[in-house]
């Protein structure tokens, strides 16, 4: 499954295990969760195209 298809609710369950396995501290874990949720929201928005 692609990360952008995982719900925000599921990321709240997944990230603690990922953080523990990676050995990152709680502050970094919170930042990672925020990043993943923001990335997921951005992935669901239409992508803009750059004009040439």
* Pair 11, 40: CB distance under 8 Å: yes
Percent of the chain clearing pLDDT 70 (strictly above): 77
Q: What does the pLDDT read at residue 52?
A: 45
DSSP state of 23: T
Q: What does the pLDDT read at residue 43?
A: 65
Q: What does the pLDDT read at residue 44?
A: 62
What average pLDDT is seen over the chain?
80
pTM over 0.85? The answer is no
Q: What single string gives the DSSP state of each residue in 26-37?
A: HHHHHHHHHHHH
pLDDT in tens, 17-40: 999 999 999 999 999 999 988 887
């Amino acid at each position: 499954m692609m990360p952008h298809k995982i719900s925000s609710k599921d990321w709240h369950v997944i990230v603690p295990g990922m953080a523990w396995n990676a050995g990152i501290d709680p502050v970094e874990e919170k930042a990672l969760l925020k990043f993943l949720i923001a990335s997921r929201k951005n992935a669901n928005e239409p992508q803009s195209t750059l004009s040439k």
